[in-house]
């Protein structure tokens, strides 16, 4: 039985510009064929078990020829797979999407188109340039700057000049001199504002502003990196007034977030709100222990009133334990047991089940939790702690100092290291790696065992996490509190310090 193909527009780079439908389709993919222009953040959303096929395509460098890409889509679909063709921008705006459909139609393969946010509009917007403005223009025109095989252009420059509208050239940086000369020869005012917008919507975006008459010279004095677009029109003069992206506190920062996949989004969103480009690449995965016999026995004892306290040391522990409890019983099994959580993140996980922690330590770490909970417990209290198979020893050591406290430490889940695609390259291209636990540091290190970790700027949620990073020679910053909000603040402070140093 044949599969199906989705042509999905990935947008210009910022993962936040991927459409809701595009994200939903991508997360159901079995095969993903992607271009070089797809942002790393979007690639981070590809399901872990999906087959990845790189189709390349950047100016002067084609990993797969177009005909080969078309054939790959057909073959994977004929094999019964859910195939996502992930394309930068919009697949039908100079994305050759129509060509890729022709072979599918010929063989009767079902397909869908998921439009994407085109760089022609999004990149100027991220640079404070409205492509239309009633005081400046009444039209906008998108033109490919890509030359044909015979090196000629199919562009009516005189018609473009007569429109008096905003002109957006895609894939035109290599032909910048020819494009500007063509406009000048057609009668455009040499003083018409113009700009080259490089790597728009990403942490490395840059704007080179000039006029049609001077843009070639100004760009020759710097190195323009692709992808980049060219914008011509009076609206370009508004960039200094309307520029907003560069004013955010984490503008220009590229951060790698290594939390487990099910927990990564909250931290990533907080960083993006501050302007960072975030790569969501979980270094670890949380899986329930294979043999749940001990966990099941603890749940049965809990339902019979056998514990006074139920203690959680991570959001993952909350999820694994309650998934199992609900599979066997329901929340009434808790009876009158009191709940303790190591921090606000774990507290939020409990709130998803309609539960609130009775106890939070003053400092969100295992040692403080153990010491302060010990003081809060009545003599002889029975305490159940479902947590990672390899857990923090300080918590148990502190509790065992209490008066006749009966502690049941149950291994509810394992922490496994997850593969990080192109991890070596990512270390070289990120400003900060953000760690929320010592296990995420270990998982990250396991993915790149031969890396020079002295080049990694690590922002850590607590002293134990920082100690794990320091063992490997990473430069570390530690949040004042063990909360995601404090962790983001620590990234801001680290970014300010590095800007001063550089």
Dihedral pair phi/psi, residue 55, rounded to 5°: -100, -5
Calculate mean pLDDT across residues 411-424: 78
Pick the catalytic residue from 35, 90, 365, 431: 35
Confidence of residue 417 (pLDDT cuts 50, 70, 90): confident
Q: Report how far apart the first and last C-alpha atoms of the chain are (Å, whole number).
A: 58
Q: Is 156 a catalytic residue?
A: no
User: What are the structural domains of the chain?
Assistant: 4-116 (3.40.1010.10), 121-245 (3.30.950.10), 254-283+419-501 (3.40.50.10090), 287-416 (3.40.50.10090)
pLDDT at 57: 61
Confidence of residue 12 (pLDDT cuts 50, 70, 90): very high
pLDDT at 420: 66
Pick the catalytic residue from 14, 57, 81, 87: 57
Strand bridging mode 457-460 / 432-435: parallel
Q: What percent of the chain has pLDDT over 90?
A: 72
Tens digits of residue pLDDT in 167-180: 999 988 889 999 99
Note if the bond before 26 is cis, omega within 30 degrees.
no
Flag whether the pTM goes above 0.85. no
pLDDT score of 427 more than 80: no
pLDDT at 196: 97
Q: What percent of the chain has pLDDT over 70?
A: 94
Confidence of residue 424 (pLDDT cuts 50, 70, 90): low
Tens digits of residue pLDDT in 250-307: 999 999 998 776 666 789 999 999 999 998 877 788 899 999 999 999 999 999 999 9
Q: Is 57 a catalytic residue?
A: yes
Give dist(CA 459, CA 489) in Å, integer: 10
- Cα 255 to chain center, whole Å? 9
Where is average pLDDT lowest: 63-67, 224-228, 434-438?
63-67
| Secondary structure, 3-state, 368-408 | HHHHHHHHHCCCCCEEEEEEECCCCHHHHHHHCCCCCCEEE
pLDDT score of 150 more than 80: no
Residues 240-256: b if buried by 16+ CB within 10 A, e if exposed = eeeeebeeebbbbbbbb
DSSP 8-state assignment for residue 80: T
Strand bridging mode 254-257 / 228-232: unpaired
Calculate mean pLDDT across residues 322-343: 94
């Amino acid at each position: 039985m044949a599969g199906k193909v989705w042509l999905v527009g990935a947008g210009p780079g910022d993962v936040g510009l991927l459409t809701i439908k595009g994200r939903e389709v991508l997360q159901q993919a079995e095969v993903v064929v992607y271009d070089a222009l797809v942002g790393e953040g979007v690639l981070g959303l590809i399901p872990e078990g999906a087959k990845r096929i790189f189709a390349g395509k950047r100016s002067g460098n084609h990993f797969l020829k177009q005909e080969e890409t078309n054939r790959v889509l057909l073959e994977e679909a004929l094999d019964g797979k859910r195939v996502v063709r992930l394309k930068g921008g919009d697949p039908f705006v100079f994305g050759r999407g129509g060509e890729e459909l022709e072979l599918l139609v010929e063989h009767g393969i079902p397909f869908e188109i998921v439009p994407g946010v085109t760089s022609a509009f999004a990149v100027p917007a991220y640079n404070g340039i409205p492509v239309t403005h009633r005081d400046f223009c009444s039209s906008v025109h998108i033109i490919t700057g890509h030359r044909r095989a015979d090196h000629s252009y199919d562009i009516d420059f005189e018609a473009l000049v007569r429109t008096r509208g905003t002109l957006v050239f895609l894939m035109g940086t290599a032909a910048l001199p020819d494009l500007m000369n063509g406009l000048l020869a057609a009668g455009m005012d040499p003083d018409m504002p113009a700009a080259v917008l490089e790597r728009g919507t990403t942490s490395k975006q840059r704007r080179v502003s000039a006029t049609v008459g001077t843009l070639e010279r100004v760009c020759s004095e710097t190195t323009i990196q692709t992808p980049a677009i060219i914008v011509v029109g009076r609206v370009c003069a508004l960039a200094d007034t309307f520029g907003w992206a560069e004013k955010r506190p984490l503008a220009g920062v590229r951060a790698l977030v290594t939390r487990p996949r099910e927990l990564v989004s909250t931290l990533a969103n907080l960083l993006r709100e501050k302007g960072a480009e975030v790569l969501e690449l979980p270094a670890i995965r949380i899986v329930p222990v294979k043999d749940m016999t001990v966990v099941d026995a603890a749940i049965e004892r809990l339902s019979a009133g056998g514990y006074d306290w139920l203690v959680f040391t991570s959001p993952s522990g909350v999820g694994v334990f309650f998934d199992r409890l609900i599979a066997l019983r329901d929340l009434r099994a808790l009876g009158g047991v009191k709940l303790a959580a190591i921090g606000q993140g774990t507290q939020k996980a409990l709130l998803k089940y309609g539960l609130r922690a009775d106890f939070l330590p003053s400092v969100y770490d295992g040692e403080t939790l153990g010491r302060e909970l010990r003081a809060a417990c009545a003599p002889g209290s029975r305490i159940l702690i479902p947590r990672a198979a390899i857990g923090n020893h300080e918590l148990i050591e502190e509790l065992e100092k209490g008066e006749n406290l009966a502690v049941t430490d149950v291994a509810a889940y394992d922490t496994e290291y997850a593969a990080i695609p192109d991890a070596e390259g990512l270390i070289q291209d990120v400003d900060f790696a953000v760690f929320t636990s010592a296990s995420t540091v270990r998982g990250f290190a396991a993915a790149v065992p031969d890396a020079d970790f002295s080049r990694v700027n690590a922002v850590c949620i607590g002293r134990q996490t920082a100690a794990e990073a320091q063992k490997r020679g990473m430069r570390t910053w530690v949040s004042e509190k063990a909360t995601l909000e404090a962790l983001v603040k620590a990234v801001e402070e680290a970014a300010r310090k590095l800007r001063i140093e550089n």
